[in-house]
Amino acid sequence: MFNKTVCLAAFAFIGAFGLAGPAAADDAMAPMDVHWSFEGPFGHYDQEQLQRGYKVYREVCSSCHAMNQIAFRNLGDPGAPFYDPKYPNSNDNPKVKAIAADYKVSDVDGDSGDVIKRPATSADYFPSPYANNAAAANANGGAVPPDMSLLVKAREGGAAYIYSVVAKDGVMTPPHGMIVPAGRYYDPYKSGGVIAMPPPLVAGKVTYDDKTPASVDQEARDVSAFLQWAADPKMEERKQTGLAVMIFLIVFTGLLYASYRKIWSDVGH
Amino acid sequence: MSHPSTYEPKTGIERWLDSRLPIVRFGADLMSYPTPRNLNYWYTFGGILSFCLAVQIITGIVLAMHYDASGAGAFMSVERGIMRDVNYGWLIRGVHANGASMFFVAVYLHIMRGIYYGSYKAPREVLWLLGCVIYVLMMATAFMGYVLPWGQMSFWGAKVITNLIGALPLVGKPITTLLWGGFSVDDPTLNRFFSLHYLLPFVIAAVVALHIWALHVPGNNNPTGVNVKSDNDTVAFHPFYTVKDGFAIGLFMIMFAVFVFYLPDALGKADNAIPANPLVTPAHIVPEWYLLPFYAILRAIPDKLLGVLALAGSIGMLFALPWLDTSKVKSMRYRPTARLYFFIWIAATCVLGWCGSQEPDGKLFGIESFNFIDYPIMSVTWASRIAALYYFSFFGIMLFLGLSETPLPVPDSLYTPVLKTPVAAPAE
């Protein structure tokens, strides 16, 4: 009786508080149910999708959103959008180099000491579109566009939340009687129902290199997947390591159980 | 150690060392420690907890090598440095962050086992008190560790908890200022929390050593609560319990690994992936799951100072338990009434934990109701008030129940129930 009851209680405890997520008193709509390639214990990133998603980030999001935890070289790491097994050192990856060279970063000239702009290298981090938070707020009606490196982990609902916000906000009308302030937009997925970001995507806003038709839904899926990678770049390594660890632990625990049975076999207990 | 030593040095070096520093004898005596033969799996959590402490200390030392304890650098050193750039940093941090939760899962089951089988009763009161001290140190360590990544929940959690101390009359404000190292939670707070977070685990390790010492003097309690009466009641700790504990640790590691590799953020809060910002308060400030019942007790009381005292009292009750429980029978196996109250107590604690995770004015079952003492009757706050009332009443019940209840017959020896079970063949 003790065993069963306490086991149940323990699981209920972990279940209720660990996994239940945010407090129930929330007026936000649940994010849409989206199927992702990275779901589940064997989930992996779809590299072509990440490349398309990067293009959406580059051409749409990056004009307002920084991504300050990510270096260009990270784009060429295993599991990343531009990983190429020919370049184990991602700094050498020509695609990564080309992407970096497209950006300008601040530096100090070693001879004159002047602050200069130079083309970025693979080792540089993505530069912020604004000089500082005050400039970012000033350009966006008082709201600072959040950094995107960890955005998926920083929002309940993760990638599905991002997808819901960028795919659907533009086509949804606020409920009757709700007043959305000027310079703000209706967003039912957010607590409070109002977001400062205008609906960012329109069909055909980017031209995909792989000729995938660029519908709003496609762009939203791709950029959400890219942001999932940005927030969790080690996911593939983590899940692959996890599989090996689980197999080892199950075999090891099985052996321990066999030893336990053997050692206790002629001892009453 | 209290049991007679059976170690005999066999070589010249061992004899030489044994008369100077009998460390080999010490280890051998730990291994030959006579342990009741009827300990069930609920008794494996001591070993599991030692494993947890070792894991936390080892991963923590490595994390500290890569961590920058400054308001400007802490978040980046964790999320960019450790999670992205340090080799296997994601794994080390995943083990450390989830390891804290695993540690608490194990300690809660360990405490429940202690209460159920009456392990705090004479002659094991000091053993129990040391365990309570470890639990309090664990909570302090976990709280300060949660502050270190310097995310929104780290910062605001630190603010809420340190502010509690400010509710104490006279000494509250100066202590808070001392804790903060200034007049609000800021860089100096983070620095002293980091320092203390590194120190306390070693204090815990020292108290664990005392806890094990205090265990080895009277010896283990067991599921019957009947004292060991002859050598036939016990087996050597090694190999019998090393292998049983080892198997339990294996199972525990499997559950642990599921979280680390497949649900690494499930026990955390999304808000902590946002860098600390003193100007933006998160919508819901909630502590980690293992502190939620106490958070609910705190919020249940309308007065701040009384709330803090109730919070402290809820843990203080555990310290007093050996003297509150008046029953001469240790194990609740033979105390059906006490057992019932105990299970309700577990349930009440779970209800408190759930309440702690919710908004205080959240409606129960969606029912509209009238206000009474600040909150509607059918609200989370009233649920926590009732659960908290039971939480405290339980200790009073233990006081009176021990005097009034009629326990079931207790076996003559801990080995008697073993002999009755058909599968077990008597040893020797």
Q: Is the pLDDT of residue B194 over 90?
A: yes
Chain B's closest residue to A70, CA to CA, is B80
Distance in Å, alpha carbon of B170 to nearest chain A alpha carbon: 35
Chain A's closest residue to B42, CA to CA, is A3
Question: A108 and A233, same structural domain?
Answer: no
| 8 A C-beta contact, residue B189 and residue B182 | yes
Q: Hey, are the CB atoms on B418 and A269 less than 8 Å from each other?
A: yes
Distance from first CA to last CA of chain B, Å, rounded? 26
Distance in Å, alpha carbon of B60 to nearest chain A alpha carbon: 20
Cα(B96)–Cα(B107) distance, rounded to whole angstroms? Answer: 16
Question: A136 and A33, same structural domain?
Answer: yes
Residues of A in contact with B332 (CB under 8 A): 2
Any idea which fold B34-285 has?
Cytochrome Bc1 Complex; Chain C (1.20.810)
Q: Hey, are the CB atoms on A155 and B250 less than 8 Å from each other?
A: no
The average pLDDT across A190-198 equals 90
Q: How far is CA B361 from the centre of its chain?
A: 29
Q: Could you list the residue range(s) of the whole structural domain that residue A48 is in?
A: 26-70+128-251
Q: Is the pLDDT of residue B427 over 50?
A: no
Residues in chain B: 428
Q: How many domains does chain A have?
A: 2
Q: Spell out the domain ranges in chain B.
A: 34-285, 294-418
Question: A166 and A64, same structural domain?
Answer: yes
Q: Mean pLDDT, chain A, as a whole number?
A: 90
Cα(A194)–Cα(B273) distance, rounded to whole angstroms? Answer: 21
Question: A174 and A243, same structural domain?
Answer: yes
Q: Hey, are the CB atoms on A253 and B38 less than 8 Å from each other?
A: no
| 8 A C-beta contact, residue B169 and residue B301 | no
Instruction: Tell which residue, B202, B249, B204, has the closest CA to residue B102.
Output: B249
pLDDT of residue A171: 72
The average pLDDT across A248-269 equals 94
Question: A237 and A155, same structural domain?
Answer: yes
Cα(A27)–Cα(A29) distance, rounded to whole angstroms? Answer: 7
- Residue B123 preceded by cis peptide, ω within 30: yes
Q: Is residue A33 part of a domain?
A: yes
Residues of B in contact with A3 (CB under 8 A): 41-42
Q: What sign does the dihedral B143-B146-B147-B148 (CA atoms) show? A: positive
Q: What sign does the dihedral B321-B322-B325-B330 (CA atoms) show? A: positive
Q: What is the per-residue pLDDT across A132-165, written as a single tens digit (0 to 9) for each?
A: 999 999 999 899 999 999 999 999 999 999 999 9
Pairing state of beta strands A115-119 and A185-186?
unpaired
Q: Is the pLDDT of residue A7 over 90?
A: no
Residue B424: pLDDT band (50, 70, 90) is very low
Residues of A in contact with B112 (CB under 8 A): 6
Q: Hey, are the CB atoms on B246 and A256 less than 8 Å from each other?
A: yes
Count interface pairs A-B at CB distance under 8 A.
158
Residue A3: pLDDT band (50, 70, 90) is low
Q: Is residue A12 part of a domain?
A: no
Residue A10 in contact with partner chain B when CB distance is under 8 A:
yes
Cα(B383)–Cα(B50) distance, rounded to whole angstroms? Answer: 36
Q: Hey, are the CB atoms on B247 and A2 less than 8 Å from each other?
A: no
Instruction: Tell which residue, B308, B316, B356, B314, has the closest CA to residue B175.
Output: B308
Q: What is the per-residue pLDDT across B335-390, written as a single tens digit (0 to 9) for each?
A: 999 999 999 999 999 999 999 999 988 888 888 888 888 888 889 999 999 999 99
Residue B185: pLDDT band (50, 70, 90) is very high
In chain A, residues 118-157 whose CB comes closer than 8 Å to chain B: 146, 149-150, 153-156
Question: A197 and A64, same structural domain?
Answer: yes
Question: A215 and A141, same structural domain?
Answer: yes
Q: Is residue A38 part of a domain?
A: yes
Q: Is residue A213 part of a domain?
A: yes
Percentage with pLDDT > 70 across chain B:
97
Q: Is the pLDDT of residue B304 over 70?
A: yes
Instruction: Tell which residue, B189, B194, B132, B193, has the closest CA to residue B323.
Output: B132
Cα(B320)–Cα(B325) distance, rounded to whole angstroms? Answer: 9
pLDDT of residue A21: 40
Question: A241 and A167, same structural domain?
Answer: yes
Q: Is the pLDDT of residue A95 over 50?
A: yes
Q: Hey, are the CB atoms on A269 and B353 less than 8 Å from each other?
A: no
Q: Hey, are the CB atoms on A266 and B425 less than 8 Å from each other?
A: yes
Question: A109 and A206, same structural domain?
Answer: no
| 8 A C-beta contact, residue A162 and residue A155 | yes
DSSP single-letter state for residue B232: G
Residue A242 in contact with partner chain B when CB distance is under 8 A:
yes
* Neighbour count for residue B105 (Cβ, 10 Å): 22
Q: Is the pLDDT of residue B176 over 60?
A: yes
Question: A202 and A102, same structural domain?
Answer: no
Of the candidates A20, A234, A238, the beta carbon closest to that of B357 is on A20
Q: Hey, are the CB atoms on A25 and B426 less than 8 Å from each other?
A: no
Question: A113 and A34, same structural domain?
Answer: no
| 8 A C-beta contact, residue A223 and residue A167 | no
Instruction: Tell me the CATH number at A225.
Output: 1.10.760.10
pLDDT of residue B419: 61
A92-103 in b/e form (b: 16+ CB < 10 A) is ebebbbebbeeb
Q: What's at A254, amino acid-wise?
A: G
DSSP single-letter state for residue A145: P
pLDDT of residue B366: 82
Q: Is residue A269 part of a domain?
A: no
pLDDT of residue B392: 98
Percentage with pLDDT > 90 across chain A:
77
The average pLDDT across A249-261 equals 98
Residues of A in contact with B419 (CB under 8 A): 268
Q: Hey, are the CB atoms on B247 and A256 less than 8 Å from each other?
A: yes
Q: What is the per-residue pLDDT across B110-163, written as a single tens digit (0 to 9) for each?
A: 999 999 999 999 999 999 999 999 999 999 999 999 999 999 999 999 999 999
Of the candidates B79, B261, B418, the beta carbon closest to that of A150 is on B79
Residues of A in contact with B417 (CB under 8 A): none
What are B309's two structure tokens? Answer: 């005292």
Instruction: Tell which residue, B47, B8, B410, has the closest CA to residue B220.
Output: B47
Task: Please list the residues that pair with A117 across neighbouring strands.
Answer: A106
Residues in chain A: 269
Task: Give B354 or B417, the one with higher predicted confidence.
Answer: B354
Mutate one of B38, B93, B274, B420 to test the A interface: name it (highest A CB count within 10 A).
B274
The full DSSP string for B287-322 is: --GGGHHHHHHHHHSSSHHHHHHHHHHHHHHHHHHH
pLDDT of residue B368: 83
pLDDT of residue B417: 72
Residues of A in contact with B83 (CB under 8 A): 234
Residue with tokens 């001392």: B178
Three-state DSSP state, B379:
strand
Residues of B in contact with A68 (CB under 8 A): 80
B247-272 in b/e form (b: 16+ CB < 10 A) is bbbbbbbeebbbbbbbebbebbbbbb
Of the candidates A156, A242, A263, the beta carbon closest to that of B261 is on A242
In chain A, residues 62-101 whose CB comes closer than 8 Å to chain B: 68-70, 74
The average pLDDT across A32-43 equals 94
The average pLDDT across B81-90 equals 97
Chain A's closest residue to B415, CA to CA, is A269
Residue A247 in contact with partner chain B when CB distance is under 8 A:
no
Highest mean pLDDT among A4-13, A173-182, A248-257: A248-257
Q: Mean pLDDT, chain B, as a whole number?
A: 94
pLDDT of residue A26: 60
Q: Hey, are the CB atoms on B362 and A24 less than 8 Å from each other?
A: yes
Q: Is residue A81 part of a domain?
A: no
Task: Give A10 or B220, the one with higher predicted confidence.
Answer: B220
Task: Please list the residues that pair with B375 across neighbouring strands.
Answer: B372
Cα(B110)–Cα(B51) distance, rounded to whole angstroms? Answer: 14
Q: Hey, are the CB atoms on B357 and A17 less than 8 Å from each other?
A: yes
Question: A234 and A101, same structural domain?
Answer: no
Residue A19: pLDDT band (50, 70, 90) is very low
Residue B421: pLDDT band (50, 70, 90) is low
Of the candidates B94, B247, B274, the beta carbon closest to that of A257 is on B247
